[in-house]
Structure 1
Amino acid sequence: MKDKVRDFLESDLLEKYLLEHTTVEESNQVERYIAMYPEVRDTYRELEDNLETFARLYALKTPDGLKERIQQQIRNQHTGRRRFMRFAVAASIATLFFAASSFFFWNQNQNLQQENAMVTDQIRVLEADMKEQLEDVRNQFIVLNNPGTRKYVVNGNKKARELKAIAYVNPIKKLSYINVRNLPQLPEDQCYQMWAEVNGSMVNLGILKDIEDKDKLMALPYGEKALGYITIEPKGGNVAPSVQNIVANIKY
């Protein structure tokens, strides 16, 4: 394979092109390479299939009840407007109650504004969550499909012989993920906890729970010569790793 073709495939231009994140110049280059080189064309088609699989696998669900809450807010707004019209007619007839009616209208309007603000905030939070999840899916797609990704098999020590995991590291995009395939059973008062030592700092990555999806990837902080650990800790986790209870070391 020509050096320039190999360099092109090891970059992330094909992935960016598929995800519509390329500039006009980059798009022209990708389309030119696809047309000129069969190996690039084959890789592009394979990435297309993988992306379609990822899209189906990680289809995002709207949070339970959000649609119903938004519809209820809209119904409340319509109800508020109908009340407004009824009291407006009443106010035009009964001028003695004009002041009280005006205050009622103002209060209703304030409530509607607050409800509108709540719905808007909920939509913004949902959009932010979806954006974050899509970015994570994009990074996973790159890590699993880029030829520059390195793969490390992780096995547990004698305290957890059945522990199995695979770490994926891409130094080009500075991305790291781990796929924990199997966790041996622990007593109810203990748990597995994961840690990463990056640039001299220890980072708590949280408790590893029972694995429901064996294909799920967990993001790791990227760093040069970073280290990862899985330890056995008391139920609920610990603020610092118990060195004597390390059951797996991950060098990436």
Structure 2
Amino acid sequence: MNVTEYIASGILESYVMGVVSDQERREVECLSSVYPEIRQELDQLSSTLESYALLHSIEPPVSIKTKLLEQLTFDEPGKQETIIRPMPVDIPSSPTYRITWIVAASVGLLLLVFSFFLFSQLRTNQKTLASTRNVNQSLQSQLRQLRENQLQSDQTLALLRQPGLRTFALHGNEKAPQGNMLLFWNTQTHQVAVQVHSLPPLPADKQYQLWSMVDGKPVDAGVFNATNENQLVQRLNRSVTRADAFAVTIEKRGGSPTPTLSTLLAIEPVKS
């Protein structure tokens, strides 16, 4: 469950104002007991509404209490007969009381509208904060990617600067007519790397595998992926001490001990 989206939906404000259905009320109470973020948001909204109501509360006139007590009759102890008096039906039409209640009702309505305005502003600020956090996370992810690319570039540059490096261009056959890649082989350190320019994408359970041909026999030289992202060089985890030719096949992910000749895509002899 996305707690941030749920908080930003506005249902918590409706719950605090008492305008949710029974099902929504049970849902909010259940989720608030599970997620501390929702409980904290509920407590904050309740505290804000209570503080605002206390700040703008209006004390009724003292004369209203006297007026009400004059209209109420209490039984005296010891009397056998209960005297029932009819409750007054007509509300006093005194202009003072009428104006007081109208003003109180108007102030209450204004407070309610202003409270919704404050909640709306709070929601807007929370959405802005959430958007800022998402942008920050995206920038951090891009920064990590740039650092990884820089590290890869440094490693590639170090590989290309080493003495004894040989470069081979491998082109795809009729099974991959658009296939194009470079192979880097250091005859002194025996390291091998490839730079894919264009190769067909493969299913998740397949990988390209490089083979070094020695006296007509294929030797595993490592696996690599069909990626051309930023033309990155992929260093293989096999050492090649000798090679008469290099070949590329499609094998299961992780590589195969022997090549599948039916998937042979390219072969390039090593000229002395």
Q: Same fold (TM over 0.5)?
A: no
Relative contact order: is structure 1 or structure 2 higher (C-alpha 8 Å, sep ≥ 6)? 1
TM-score by length of 1: 0.38
TM-score by length of 2: 0.35
